[in-house]
Structure formats: C-alpha cells, structure tokens
Amino acid sequence: MADKKSKSTIERVSALIEEQSLTKEQLLDYLRQVLEIRALENNINTLLGKAVIKGASHLYAGQEAVAVGAIGALRSDDLVTSTHRGHGHGHAHGDTVASTPEEKQMHYNKMMAEVLGRSGGYCKGKGGSMHIADVEHGNLGATGIVGGNIPVAVGAALAQKLMGTDKVVLCFFGDGASNTGNFHEALNMASLWDLPVIFIVENNLYAMSVPFAKASKLPDIADRACAYGIPGEIVDGMDVLEVRKVVEKAVKRARQGKGPSLIECKTYRYYGHSHSDPRMYRTKEEEQAYKDRDPIKILRDGLMAVGMLTDAEFDKMDKTVKAKLKEAMTYSEASPEPEPSEMETDVYAPSIFTVKDVEAEAELREKVKKDESMREISYAEAIVEALREEMKRDPKVFVMGEDVGLYGGAYGATRGLLEEFGEWRIIDTPISEATIGGAGVGAAMAGMRPVQEIMYVDFTPLVMDQVANQGAKNRYMFGGKTAVPMVIRTEGGAGRAIAAHHSQSLEVLWTHFPGIYVVMPSTPYDVKGLLKACIRDNNPVMFIEHKMLYKNKGRVPTEEYLIPLGVADIKRPGKDVTLVTYSRQVLNALEAADQLAAEGIDVEVIDLRSLKPLDIDTVITSVQKTGRFVGLTEAYENSSFINEVMAQINDKAFDWLDAPMERVAAANVPVPRAEVLEDLAIPNVARVVQACRKVVG
C-alpha cells in the first residue's frame, strides 16, 4: 500500500512539474517561501501571546500554499491586492519581486517591522498587520474591510487595459467576502469588460466563526462564476503546485485579453480569526485532518518523492529560515518607533501649486470680474471644456460612470465627449456605485487619472467604503508611498422638487474623512478652473456641483487656467458683516448683500470654493475687519460644514467678534417634495438678510 501511495505521489508531482516546466530552483524557492511564511506567523502568534504586538493580527498559517502558488504564476511586474490576512501574500510577493538574497531579507524585515508598528516597516508603522502594502513593486495593499480590495483590483486591471499593457492583477479574498456586494459588483464589471484580473477565493471554511455552509446555499463559491460568464475552478488550497497550475492557466487567459477567472482554493487557517478567537466552533479532529495535509508536508514530501529534495537540503533550508527570522527580529527591534512628528505626515500628497500660482489666479480672477467683453458660457459648458482640455492634455485621464456616454451623465455635462474620445475614455458603467468608486481607487493607484461620476451626492454613501476607507486612507496607511489621483464628480442640493433622495447637501460626510478634498464651485469660471486643478492634483477629490447651477452663465477666459485648491474668493468686499458660503448659496448671499446695501449694511461675501483644503485665513482676516460673522449653507443645520468654520473662528478670532455668530442652514428634516415645503426647508434670501441684520444689531 505504501509503495502504491508513493508511486501515485511521484506520478502526480512529476506531472505537475513537467506541465508547468518548473526547475528545481523554483521548487525549492516555493518551499522556502512556505517555510518563511509559517515561521513568521508562528512568531507573530508568540509575540501576540506575550503582548509584544498590540492590536489585531490575522494569521495566515495553513494557507501558505495559496499565496506561494498563485504568486509563483506571476511575472515580477504584475500586481496583487490583499486582505486583512495578508502577511502571506505580502511575503510571497515581496520575495518574488526581489532579485538578490539581500533584497529578499529586507522584504522579510519590513514585514516583521510593520506588524510591530516600527518605522522601518513597509508603511513606516502606520498600516500595521492588516494594511501591508508595497505599491512601488506592485502590491497595491491589504485592507481591513472584508471585500474592500475587490473593486480596487478591478480598477487596477482596468488601468492595464486602458494603458495597453499585458500585466495581470491577482485579487485575494476570503469566503466571507464572497457574500458582500463588492464581490458581485466587481465580478460583473470585470467580466463585462474582459479585464485581466484573477479573483482568488481563499475558502478556509469560516468567516470569523460562521461556517460557509451557513452563509451560502451553494457549497462552492466557484459555481457563482457562471453568473458572470467567466471560468470558475476549485483547487486544493493546501498544495502549492496545484494552485500554481490553475492560476497559471488563468493568468495566461487574462494576458490574452480573454478576461477574468474565479478560482476557489479550499484551504484552512490553523489559528483563529484573530488572536482572541478560541476556535470553539471547530473540532480538534477537523483541525488535525487539515494539519495532516499541511502545505509544508505536501510540498516537501512531493519534492523528496521525485528526487528534487533531500533530508539534508531540507534541514539546511529550515536552519536558513530560522536565521532569516532572527535577522528580521533584530532589524525590527532596532527599528525605532515612529517619531511623533510622523502623526500628521502622508495624509495628503503635496500641493502641485506654488505661491506664484495663487497670485496669478487672483490676478486673472480680477480680470474676469472687470472684463465685460469676455465671453460667457454656462456652468455645464465649463465642465465639458475642463474635461475635454484635460483629456486632450493627458491620455491617462478618463471618465467613468452611469450614463456618461451618449446621455452625457445626469445633467448632460459630459455630452459630446463620447464621440470625440471613444468608449474607453468615456466609459458607461453598470449601476454599481461601490465598484465605480473602488475601480477609481485601483486605477489611480495603478497610474491612471479617473474622473468618476456619481449621479447624485445622495448616492455617494454607496461609495463611502471604497473612497473613504481605501482611496482617502491608503496614502497614510501605506506610509506615504502611494498616491490616489482621482476625482468623483457628483451634484447635490435642492431646488427641483425631487424629494429627499435626490436633493440633499451631504458635503459634510466627505469633509469628515482625512485624505480626501472637497470642492464646491459656484460659477462657470470657478467650476472650470477648479475641475482642471482637481484632475491634476494627486489626491482624491469629491467634486460637488449644484443641480441648479448647470444653466447659469458667467465669464470664462479662453486661455488655459487653473484655480489652486484651498483659495477662497471674496465675491463682494464689505466692511460690516462677513458672510461665508459656497456653491449655489453664493447667489443668495450676493442678492442679500445687495438688499442690505440699500439699508447701509456693507456685507463681505466670501465663497469658500473648496471646503478641504479650507482657506480659513481669508475668513479670519475678514472677521477681524468686520467683527461679525454669518455662515450660510444648504446642508442640514445640526451637522453642516459651516459649523466647523464657526468653530475655527471661535478658536482663532473670538476676540475680534463684536456679536455672536449666526448661521443660516437647511432645516433638520428630509428635503420635502412639495415646492412650498422645499422652499421653507432650505435657506432663502430673506433668512440671510434677517441673520445679517441680527449680527449688526
């Protein structure tokens, strides 16, 4: 019986090696990587037990064959996205892209240091165990949000298609993620566009403690592939060579432009979901059954059976791995904690604008205000001009969203661009807000400059995980070693009697998150110059237009110009009251100021233009002059961004105030459908006039 089993092993392993044309050097590399991942994970578990490592750490022990086998099928210039259980992916990828033993050791060192939160880690200690990334070398990062990396992988693959490369993207996720909306939206989009991405499900049987059988009617996740018209395969996730074989086939298919594949690797995690998990939901017999099929044992025994490995070679490798781990610990312990000054670094990519740029735009702005002969175009036309100019200037700029092609988006702002640039620069998407957002993140990290349209700001909470948790935070979590240059165009505000799901002003949701800018233009001049600036900026930007401004006309220069972010505009100088607002309410503010001027009250109207970055200095300077402040916004009163402006004035200019500050905002009710109620719910000129009179006394 033993001889028969041995013969079967020899035949199976020999066939796998021959079919994949693997050399002894490659095979020993795979075994070494498996051993190194296991050693790292066991060491982390020990350090967690001693409380040397703080926070959550999700161990990969038992699943090593998936990472090593899958990444072994890649070229060094391919890309990967990873999960909260990502040490294995990070190590296999880092080891594969390294070209010397010293570089391989350094990758191991950085992994260990990052888990320990040290400055010498991959992400300078800012990401930690769940957020390992090495974007420079193609690891676009791990995420602590289950399924959060799947749309990002789709975007990275879209970038390859648009740039005409033959690179592929491996996207790792667990069985739990296969039940999220991201999974279904992303697979649909990837299959629709034949994107070069391979979705690898590591089915370790449990999403935390819930057995997969209690989470899905279908026992096999791979069976879901048929719903998207792509191949779905199941493979033994405990066997490096079996995994590599299946992934290699999928990679070849993707490189040929035939689209994505879904591969389900049946595997097992030896430790609990995290260190605090006692694994009460599993039996010892089940655990032992998988340990009897340990990835190290399967690969080691197979290589020995075919004469590719001796006991002496294995013992030497084992000693080398232990020495490598010891060196990684020495490096990590010598690596200092991050300096306190690092707390606020890496949140935003540096500004592309200089003081001279700000001064030049201020001069141009004054020229526009005074030159009555200058051409006038609509707000919507200014948007089209900005997009057209930037797409002509930079082939990496593209537009994606629902109905942005022939229809031209929600208000026709992209109409006409499809015929000019084609369907792969103006991309109509499925109704999949989360994956529109996530695909933008992935495409931006992979070298493109996406401009995504979300029809209404009311729908932007659907993209919040992808844009706020991935796009806005990745630069910081990854130690400043990536940029996410993307713009999300949307429109908000009331005025069309279309009720509460299409009329809100939700900008404060987006000002809340560090790492993303928020821009809200009020005029055709501003919308064009700011949109062009946002497209060129290296940060994510939520660009919110107002639905009632698209037809408004104003002066716009014909020459090239940009408006630096974070520079407010004094739309009307005054000496008695500082009235601060943005977007459509600028119009109400100016009308109110004209009425008050007849009463002898001189109101200074400041248009913030961008809420983040915020030009608080212009506001403070005005308050110091007038001694009075009124804030005006169409957002809900109880949580509007104007409240933040008032807080900063209180901190920085309280002693200059001659009267309590006032705010004019929307009522704290869902925006009503009936016109008479909608008009009552949002600010109007009469309320602004009343507030200004009140502060003047």
Closest CA to 89 of 175, 170, 178: 170
Is-catalytic flag, 93?
no
Contact between 659 and 628 under an 8 Å Cβ cutoff? The reply is yes
For CA atoms 339, 341, 344, 347, the dihedral sign is negative
In the chain, the N- to C-terminal Cα span, in Å, equals 100
Burial class of residue 91, CB neighbours in 10 A (0-12, 13-18, 19+): buried
DSSP structural state of residue 139: B
Contact between 484 and 478 under an 8 Å Cβ cutoff? The reply is no
Cα–Cα distance for residue pair 294/59, rounded to 1 Å: 15
Is-catalytic flag, 433?
yes
The one catalytic residue in 248, 264, 433, 678 is 433
| Count helices and strands in the chain by DSSP H and E runs | 24, 21
Contact between 64 and 295 under an 8 Å Cβ cutoff? The reply is yes
Element (H, E) at 89: helix 87-97
Helix, coil or strand: residue 267: coil
Closest CA to 682 of 510, 501, 549, 497: 497
Helix, coil or strand: residue 621: helix
Cα→Cα distances 536→91, 301, 394, 556, 562, Å: 34, 55, 9, 20, 10
The one catalytic residue in 390, 502, 634, 662 is 502
- Own/partner pairs, 670-679, CB within 8 angstroms, 24+ separation: 670/499, 670/500, 671/494, 671/499, 671/500, 671/503, 671/504, 672/499, 672/500, 673/497, 673/498, 673/499, 673/500, 674/497, 675/497, 678/494, 678/495, 678/497, 678/503
Cα–Cα distance for residue pair 135/137, rounded to 1 Å: 5
Contact between 514 and 546 under an 8 Å Cβ cutoff? The reply is no
For residue 357, how many other CB atoms are within 10 A of its CB? 16
SS3 string of 329-364? HHHHHHCCCCCHHHHHCCCCCCCCCCHHHHHHHHHH
SS3 string of 12-53? HHHHHHHHHCCCHHHHHHHHHHHHHHHHHHHHHHHHHHCCCC
Report the catalytic residues.
433, 502
